[in-house]
Amino acid sequence: MSIRINPSVLNCDFMRIGEELDRIADADRAHIDVMDNHFVPNLTFGPSMVEQMARRSPIPLDAHLMITDADRHAVAFAEAGAESVTFHLEAAQAPVRLARELRKAGAQVGVALRPATPVEPLLDILGEFDMVLVMTVEPGFGGQSFLDSMLPKIRRVREAISAANLELSVQVDGGIKRETIGRAAEAGADVFVAGSAVYSVDDAAAEIAALRRLAAEHSH
């Protein structure tokens, strides 16, 4: 499994978003948390802001849509230039159709699960996706602590992907830092969203490198 580090811009200085994107140029993708103040109690970016970031960013965008009515709004983020678009299973009426629409719009497709959402409804449709995002905090705000109770879920997702003989990434988002990334990698994650861990240090590139190394040491 190739390890990918996708820093979340949720923890950056929004007044200097261009330079903040440049700080993470060594990462694999910039993780863009899209929140609508309905699905989660926070409000961030719409498609036009994502489009501006896609034009400016030195690395591709990984858009995580924490929005209700994903069926109606998700494709706009693919059209805005996000390389990968992840919607929440809880927010989609027709996840298979939406996955195919996103792919037609040129994006890779991820599906996300909140901590309390079981893996089982996904198992028969795993082949429609490029990535499963297991939330390791309740979505909505940066800086929360990693939920170790999600490790068995990461393991179940990875085992289901292997059993179906599929090639999917398993992304984790929430509380990822040097102290927790090894446990998530050991459980089967290979894409790691780190927000405050990267943006709270002076040398973001060194932190990205350290996280990548620790994840690689623990991955199978």
Tens of pLDDT along 154-197? 999 999 999 999 999 999 999 999 999 999 999 999 999 999 99
Q: For CA atoms 102, 26, 205, 23, give the dihedral sign.
A: negative
Structural domains in the chain plus CATH codes: 4-218 (3.20.20.70)
Active site residues: 33, 173
pTM: 0.97
* Cα separation values, 80 from 57, 93, 129, Å: 13, 22, 20
